[in-house]
Chains A and B, each alone.
Chain A
Amino acid sequence: MPKVIKTKTEFEGHVFEEYVVVEGEGLSAWEPQAPLKFVGQKTPRIDGPERVTGRALYTFDVQLPGMLYGKILRSPHPHAKIKKLDTRRAAKLPGVRAVLSYKNTPKISFRQGQTFVFDEIVRYVGDEVACVIADDEEIAEDALELIEVEYELLPFVLDPEEALQPHAPKVQLSGNLLNGKPDLYERGDLDQGFAQAGVIVEGAFKTQCALHNCMETHGSVALWEGDSLTIWDSTQHIFGVRAAAAQLLGLPLNKVRVIKKYMGGGFGSKNGLGKYTVIAALGAKMTGRPVKIMLDRHEENLAAGNRPATVQHLKIGAKHDGTLTALELRASVGAGAFCTWPPSVGGPARQLYLCPNVKTEQHTVFTNTGPLSAFRAPGYVEGTFALESLMDELARKLDIDPIELRLKNYTEIDQMTGRPYSTKGLREAYERGTKLFGWDLTPRSPSLKGRGGSPPTLGEGLGERFRRGFGMASQIWSGNGSPPAYALVKLNPDGTATVISGTQDIGTGTKTVLAQVAAEELDFPIEKISVEIGDTQLGPYAPLSAGSMTVASVGPAVRVAAHDARQQLLDIAAQVLEVPRESLTICDGLLSSSAIKEPVAVKDVLEKLENFMIIGRGAREPNPEDVTVNTFGVQFAEVAVDTETGEVKVERIVAVHDSGRVINPLTLSSQIEGGIIQGLGYALCEQRVVDKATGVVINGNLENYKLPTALDIPEIVFEMVDQPDPRANNLGVKGVGEPPIIPTAAAIANAVADAIGVRISELPITRDKVLKALKKE
């Protein structure tokens, strides 16, 4: 019988309480040294062939008979009221099938009432105004130019600090401060903490607005069959899109199906339902034909989310031996025009170090710019940059080795809840990272100072004009995974198995990891396992693929389902083979028993049962209540700064992370490297630029928004602590998607400060900032 359990779940710094249904047998985690056949292997992606042949079907590739294309007209103004909208000329253009706007569509509230799918007020350059549905994209684009709109321009505000001023234009009627008040956290007594401090360091840190630029843009295809709607969507959460689409369109859940087979990146920006999805569904209804809307690169960079800019005032108090006594953070975050999910910028300050007196205050502020969305470790990347930069300053001031300072304030207890960590491999990560990087050989190391301070040259000599620097930074992130997450494992009559779950692979290798887990538990050859995900009609519920939670949420459910299938198989085989159940074992897909001579293939048993299909069911168990499950890590950076051009060249990144047991070292290494490379772009070159006079994004394309390219990649060396976390879940795994992006920018910034002797406290660290800093010197 299914059991209902009330449990706490954490997602990206927010805690929820919910009921979950648990079914299947509770399994304990494999022993750390258990001999495992598939888990822990470098298994190449099981869907590799589809991906390298171009046969993998992305939402962008869906082409249906009679399919039409939609193109969205977007506001050229940062804040305006639409006074007149005339679509008649557009509608007459040959090939145009419909023009949608607030005039001919139902008023559908969006983003918790902050806007409508078609709103008469536009709040940022890029806000949706109308949509043309036509035979082809080019025709739709032509038609957009024929739509006549008269706007009444409204005063606008782009800067979060200005938006908080009393007479600032209101972006949202309820005011520019999200929820009308700052998000406040306090523990201990801050004043007393600062009074106890022997030294105080403080600083203002600024981080930029960064754009996800997933290679596949956001988009959907909508198809009506009678009153049933099928949506192909490039999404990280098929079940979330199903629920939201059903609600907004007034449809029962069983009439909405959401499919996402492959997607070209999300990084948090595809966590929820987009307006384009609703518009595609409305357009398809209106025209009676399937409709596809894919944003183009420019729209993507206006309307598809971003990592918001922050300003962080941070102050740290410490005793002379480095013991932290107080930590205070005041952060403002520019939400853009809409926001229902503020990132937790104060997370690292609250959690990373032992500190009794902490206060964090976050103002999330609406502005007339494109709305924020989650972006790989939202808040933590920004917060870690400020915290770890200032910790570096503190180390300098106290003349303590940066690692030693961090060890001094190491905590085995979660500072937020008072519970111990289930496992914390950060100390080991520091040790291993220090060795891997050769930290003790850098001039920053006190041991070297002891030797008279002559810096050894690591790598090649650089010459006069270059200065070399070394830095490090730590990372904390939840990554615990949680229920609800469910899976089925079907055993087919031919002895193959199909894993089914309503999860999705956003590029991390989910399918492969789930196949490894199922193969391990079933003890079937992995070639016999296939994995079906990404379709709400197929699978039981699984959570969104975000928050580094997919493997730690869905993986354990798959293991339980595989276990259930295996038990059923043994029950059945014992009867078919007429042997005692206890005598039966499965190994490599073969059934053996002391009561029979030769092992029997699973197929030979199941085939006797006509087309009976064993279906194992599994659910993710609740998280433990008495411990906190978190991920940890450290990264080291070596940079060379060109003092003539200001260019920062990252030469080497060394990373050591603790994410529990590693299921697949191959796909995991891709996650680590990818996170670091995104972190490098964030540290050095990525920045959305908005024109102050017009609110227009002036680099919303891949030419002027600078992403790291093949020529910018440093040497990346990493290790995993790879200690299974038996309290975390039945696999002993923690997430790994987000941890690697978290400390990169801070480590690079610390290395730059080490190289040039001046702290740059604003990201990205571009050449102009370096040159300016050098003149200040």
Chain B
Amino acid sequence: MNWALTLWRLASFAVAAGLIALWQLIANLKLVSPVFLPGPDRAWAALMRGFSNGTLLDKTIGTLEHMFYGWLVASVVGIALGAMIGSSRAMRSYVAPSLEFLRPLPVSAIIPVAIALFGLTQGMALFVIAFGAIWPMLLATVHGFGAVEPRLYEVARSLHMSRLAVIFKIALPSASPDIISGMRLSLTVSLILAVVCEILAGLDGLGHWVLLSARAFRSADLFAGVILLGVIGYVTALAMSMIEQRLLRWRTSGH
């Protein structure tokens, strides 16, 4: 088993290395103009330069902040609202259909509304990111709370558990696999929307950096920004699945 895993890891590294080599080759042969496509060497140099003078670090922190605050608001509101809707059968059957109707509404449609309400501000970004990221979480929580084993509620009744205890000791842990997978989806959505908002509102962050670099034909800086966005997406997803594994140990543990 472990051997196979190691082999897979090696293979995926080889693929990544091969792609980077191909990229370098294309750049060196100038198949695409260097104005648009820097080689990995130049992108790497731009990355180092950006970090040594601190600008890229600031932008990265800016994007992380936008993403994280929006995601946090979405999580708190989404889980609380989802718990309320999901734990009552009546609420589920009345509210869930309208949620399903609202969900496919592209977030881009509410960006003008948000701009009209908040202007080109951090508040607008927070609103848009939270609004976009709330759906996966809300729907997952509603589903999770609705799918709690009824037998466990009977155990709770027989023990005379308080309403609060039922929520925190039974419903929430039971819904946690759904909630966590919703949170993971939302994290990706948050990153995308953080970049969109930075571009639209000129907020300090990697989105804005990428836009400015593109306008100034600084393709190496542009690629450095894009690479950083990729890394943020990858690392946060990885962190999330590690948290997930830790929290959901009881589910994977077999015989």
- Is the pairing of A and B real? no
